[in-house]
Amino acid sequence: MPEAAIRNSIVFDDLTLHYQPQVSADGARIVAVEALLRVLRPTPRLVTPADVLTLFSAPAAEEALDWWVLRRACSDARGWPSLTVSVNVVAARFHDPHFADRLLEMLAEVGLDPHRLELEIVEGAYIEDFDSALANINALRARGVRIAIDDFGTGYSSLTYLLKIPVDKLKIDKSFVAGVGLMRSAAIVHAVIALARALGLKITAEGVETDEQHRFLRAAGCHFLQGWLFSKAVPAETISAMVESGQPPRRSVA
């Protein structure tokens, strides 16, 4: 179905996007934002993002929602020329042989440089057709779009993904970050960072909430950090104000 028809098939007036900053390892500057779905006008059926995903669970509706999020995020990102915007895309989208072409066409229409878009694939999602996914990913990366594996280490496909899919970044799940004070979680985080660096990949740690976690992750070699210690997900206009002010999201930690 053409994207215009998909967009017109469902009304998204009750939805919006908020953006959570991703910061440099020292916490001194914002380098990217992740687009996160929010309900603008709650109704009995629509209160949380989880409700939205349930409501849009049919394949056509899920596809429509994905394209709405992608277009909205890329449109908003035009106002932040120094930042990359990261968008979560379901694995099924990569099975579509025309996905890369449609996405690149949309980027051209919106006017966003492909180098400023990062697509996140949830690590627990199952990619049924690696050949189609690989063709799409190669086409997108050739034009500058970056690929990240989200929630890395929480599913059963971590190493399979790294073997079969060329990616640019791994995102360490917040469940590991929350436990870095424990030997087992700390060892896992160190191992993931070492693996990523050996493969030439960037690392983002999610769910950073304390100074102790920040210090640990910085010392361990994480490139980027994301979490409430720096900022919750905020409306697009708040990101614009952050960018315009040039102020770091918080003080650096030694």
Q: Output the DSSP codes for 107-121.
A: HHHHT--GGGEEEEE
Nearest to 223 by CA among 206, 240, 238, 203: 203
The residue-averaged pLDDT of 37-41 equals 85
Q: Rounded to two decimals, what is the model's pTM?
A: 0.90
The residue-averaged pLDDT of 111-119 equals 98
Residue 252 has pLDDT above 80, yes or no: no
Tell me the pLDDT tens digit for each residue of 18-30.
Answer: 999 999 999 999 9
Superfamily assignment of 3-245 in CATH?
A: EAL domain (3.20.20.450)
170: left (phi over 0), alpha (psi -120 to 50) or beta: beta
Residue 4 has pLDDT above 50, yes or no: no
* The two structure tokens encoding residue 181: 């004070």
Of 82-96, 100-114, 148-162, the range with the lowest mean pLDDT is: 148-162
Please, are residues 125 and 154 in contact by the beta-carbon 8 Å criterion?
A: no
Helices (H), the chain: 3-9, 49-55, 59-77, 99-110, 130-142, 158-164, 174-178, 183-198, 211-220, 236-245
Tell me the pLDDT tens digit for each residue of 137-190.
Answer: 999 999 999 999 988 877 655 677 788 889 999 999 898 898 877 788 888 899
